[in-house]
């Protein structure tokens, strides 16, 4: 299990870059993600279907698995107290077996809401061969200080 | 609203549909599968003691929200292919657009989903575009919200899907 980091507001500033993450995608990567997300649609496991019905070159990573990769990338950076509030992404090109996904991220804004929650707005991309395949905007809460824990926020104290 | 949308599709916009409960209580096996698929080593999903300390017990990753509502591929008595996001397939049929892809996804996350929770969801068509020419073919974009609550009536999240339904380009011989 990875060593646990616990980022707090003092550790982050606007413009910071997240460490890149690289992953070589195989057919197994695609199928594992589709099955884990209970997505049985054939374009995520049946190459013939993907080619002849979807008009693409191979099976490709499905939407919920794309989200799971983004979540993993972001919380690798924040540590376990990082709590996702919102995530939006746009898939411009599918990710296929044989591609190497490279995740990059940047802190675009930091803010504290009226309940005292520390928010970090991120721009994250997945690129293959230097071209952006998916763009993501995420809003994640991190501790204001070492004693804070965003996971303890409920109701009006949680404003994603 | 685009003027060329059929009335039976316009009638669906803004109307909550397909309220349904999860077919099984939220369970840790799928959490492990999801984390393994993306090599997510976050200890709140793997270590019960850390989960207790930080989140008050085991939870599911927020981005798994849609996972709990996809039906089993087969179940006793079910006929034909069982599909999640039924409003999406309804729109494909009503608009006579045989192919479709999800082109965008937005989600907001509320109360954490905990092991043993029973969730309820409902789908709401928010918009349907006029016909557009895209690289894949001529089609329409539509947006569907999926709102989810837990057994205590607490909001656990909303996912918003933007989809493109289309007809494939005919290739000249």
Q: What is the pLDDT of residues B35-92, one digit of tens each?
A: 999 999 999 999 999 999 999 999 999 999 999 988 888 889 877 766 778 899 999 9
| In contact, A122 and A116? CB cutoff 8 Å | no
| In contact, B165 and B112? CB cutoff 8 Å | no
Domains of chain A, with CATH numbers?
A: 9-157 (3.10.129.10)
Distance CA A43, CA A56 (A): 9
Nearest Cα of chain A lies from the Cα of B109 at a distance, in angstroms, of 5
**High-pLDDT (> 70) share of chain A, %:** 98
The dihedral sign for the CA sequence A121, A126, A129, A131: negative
- ipTM given for this complex: 0.95
Beta bridge partners of B109: B157
User: Does the distance separating the beta carbons of A75 and B40 come in below 8 Å?
Assistant: yes
Using beta carbons and an 8 Å cutoff, which residues of B are at the interface with A? 30, 33-44, 46-47, 50, 54-56, 61-64, 66-67, 70, 72-73, 84, 99, 101-112, 136, 161, 168
Residue B173: the pLDDT is 42
Residue A8: the pLDDT is 97
Query: Domain locations in chain B?
Result: 7-168
Would you state the torsion angle of the CA atoms of residues A48, A53, A59, A62, taken in this order, to the nearest 10 degrees?
-150
Residue B14 zone, left/alpha/beta (φ > 0; ψ -120 to 50; rest): left
Mean pLDDT, range A65-71, rounded to an integer: 96
Distance CA A159, CA A157 (A): 6
| In contact, A116 and A130? CB cutoff 8 Å | no
**Which of B23, B36, B42 to probe the A interface (max A CBs under 10 A)?**
B42
By C-alpha distance, the chain B residue nearest A67 is: B63
| In contact, A43 and A91? CB cutoff 8 Å | no
Distance CA A78, CA B118 (A): 29
Distance CA A104, CA A126 (A): 7
Mean pLDDT, range A63-91, rounded to an integer: 96
**Quick count: other Cβ atoms within 10 Å of Cβ B108?**
20
| In contact, A78 and A84? CB cutoff 8 Å | no
Q: At what angle do helices A27-36 and B28-37 cross, to 10 degrees?
A: 160
Provide the b/e sequence for B21-42 (b: ≥16 CB within 10 Å). ebeeebebebbebbbebbebbb
CATH architecture of B7-168: Roll (3.10)
């Amino acid at each position: 299990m990875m060593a646990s980091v616990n980022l707090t507001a003092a550790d982050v500033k606007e413009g910071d870059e997240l460490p890149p993450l690289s992953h070589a995608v195989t057919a197994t990567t695609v199928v594992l993600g589709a099955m884990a997300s209970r997505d049985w649609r054939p374009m995520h496991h049946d190459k013939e279907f993907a080619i002849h019905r979807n008009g693409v070159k191979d099976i490709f990573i499905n939407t919920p698995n794309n989200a799971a990769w983004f979540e993993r990338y972001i919380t690798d950076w924040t540590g376990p107290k990082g709590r996702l509030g919102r995530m939006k992404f746009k898939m411009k090109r599918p990710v296929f077996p044989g591609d190497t996904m490279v995740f990059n991220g940047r802190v675009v804004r930091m803010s504290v809401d009226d309940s005292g929650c520390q928010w970090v707005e991120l721009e994250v991309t997945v690129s293959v061969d230097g071209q952006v395949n998916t763009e993501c905007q995420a809003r994640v809460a991190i501790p204001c200080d070492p004693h804070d824990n965003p996971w303890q926020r409920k109701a009006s104290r949680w404003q994603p | 609203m685009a003027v060329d949308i059929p009335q039976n599709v316009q009638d669906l916009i803004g109307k909550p549909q397909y309220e349904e409960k999860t077919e099984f209580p939220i369970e840790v096996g799928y959490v492990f599968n999801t984390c393994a698929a993306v090599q997510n080593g976050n200890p709140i999903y793997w270590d019960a003691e850390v989960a207790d300390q930080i989140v008050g017990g085991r939870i599911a990753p927020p981005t798994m929200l849609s996972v709990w509502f996809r039906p089993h591929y087969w179940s006793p008595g079910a006929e034909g292919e069982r599909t999640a996001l039924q409003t999406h397939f309804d729109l494909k049929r009503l608009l006579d657009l045989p192919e479709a892809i999800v082109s965008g996804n937005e989600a907001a996350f509320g109360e954490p989903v905990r092991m043993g929770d029973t969730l309820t969801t409902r789908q709401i068509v928010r918009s349907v575009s006029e016909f557009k020419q895209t690289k894949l073919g001529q089609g329409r974009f539509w947006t569907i919200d999926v709102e989810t609550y837990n057994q205590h009536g607490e909001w656990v999240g909303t996912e918003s899907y933007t989809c493109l339904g289309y007809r494939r380009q005919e290739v000249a011989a």
